[in-house]
Structure 1
Amino acid sequence: MAATTDPVDGFSAGLKNDENVFEWEIMIIGPMGGFLRAELTFPPEYPLLPPILKFKTPMWHPNVYPDGTLCISILHAPGKDEFGYEDANERWLPLISVISLLSSDTPNTDSPANIDAAKQVRTDLAAYRKQVRRLVRRSTEEEFD
């Protein structure tokens, strides 16, 4: 893992503990200005295996499991997709794609991690967006309290 002196807009990261370079705390400035806290855990086999990203901020998104774990092809291990949704060349891409995923107006509902959120996107997109805005407001309030 190489350090950079040129930060990427949209998120910040730092070690959870100076003794463990495999666990990071992440802050993503998400859609609509929300502050999304997450943990990024790198396996010892990194970069051959991808990290695990788990949101600590409550999320309502088809590609985030109810426990906060992100389910996205860029974080899957390389190789054949057992579910047949993506090619091997679509897997394990740069982490910055997480911001893009969260900023999308219409989330991917093809293979959802959160079935209820995916169903809401398909049946009532306005209600889905209202729920997301509510969580964004809460995340911003909590960050500045």
Structure 2
Amino acid sequence: MSGIARGRLQEERRNWRKEHPYGFHARPANTGGQTNLLVWQCGIPGVPNTPWAGGVYKLVMEFSEDYPSRPPRCRFDPPLFHPNVYPSGTVCLSILDADKGWRPSITVKQILLGVQSLLDSPNASDPANGDAYALFTRSKAAYTDKIRQIAAKSAQDAAE
């Protein structure tokens, strides 16, 4: 790993441990007893008073050797039913796109807060999942019911 990427990710980890938003978690993966700074396991809570409330959604952040010049790849595992989440789980968000809104100054905390905000505020002009987009645009009530079911399952899985 390049010295720049390693140093930045170690700094991100220290900052996260000192202060992070309530209900979130983010930590480098443990692979074979080794801390892997290039892969982080994260949890994003649903915003209260939204259909996503009650759930904590697992997100994997994968950093490249070119970080922070290039954004991490962020994917939900398991994939979420959402207009801006590809069926693979990869998040479609401008701040995660090197050709759109990515800036090297964006932090892990800002990414996770941005993804959380995206959950309840889909970007209908940049769909990534045809089924979720179609339901979202065709019947907001049916889409909301489906999201509430996902949130309930996520909350149940977290309790087990």
Bin of the TM-score, shorter chain as denominator length: 0.7 to 0.9
Q: Determine the C-alpha separation between the residues in 1 that align with 2:90 and 2:79.
A: 11
User: What amino acid is aligned across from residue 114 of structure 1 in structure 2?
Assistant: N
Q: Determine the C-alpha separation between the residues in 2 that align with 1:9 and 1:44.
A: 30
In structure 2, what is the equivalent of residue 112 of structure 1?
127
Q: Determine the C-alpha separation between the residues in 2 that align with 1:113 and 1:69.
A: 9
The TM-score, its normalising length taken from structure 2, stands at 0.77
SS of match in other structure, 2:75:
strand
The TM-score, its normalising length taken from structure 1, stands at 0.84
Q: Which moved more, 1:10-19 or 1:38-47?
A: 10-19
Once the two structures are superposed, residues 50-90 of structure 1 have per-residue CA deviations (whole angstroms, 9 ceiling, x without a partner) of 0011111341110001121111111111x3xxxxxxxx4x3
In structure 1, what is the equivalent of residue 80 of structure 2?
59
User: What amino acid is aligned across from residue 15 of structure 1 in structure 2?
Assistant: P
Where does 1:26-45 land on structure 2 (aligned, <5 Å)? 26-30=42-46, 31-45=52-66
CA RMSD of aligned residues (A): 1.5
**Structure 1: which 4+ aligned runs deviate by more than 6 Å?**
none
In structure 2, what is the equivalent of residue 15 of structure 1?
28
In structure 2, what is the equivalent of residue 124 of structure 1?
139
SS of match in other structure, 2:145:
helix
Unaligned 5+ segments in structure 2 are 1-8, 47-51
User: What amino acid is aligned across from residue 153 of structure 2 in structure 1?
Assistant: R
Unaligned 5+ segments in structure 1 are 80-87
Once the two structures are superposed, residues 73-132 of structure 1 have per-residue CA deviations (whole angstroms, 9 ceiling, x without a partner) of 11111x3xxxxxxxx4x344530211111132xx21112110111111111010001111
Fraction of identical pairs, as percent: 35
1:47 to 65, 68, 89: 68
SS of match in other structure, 1:32:
coil
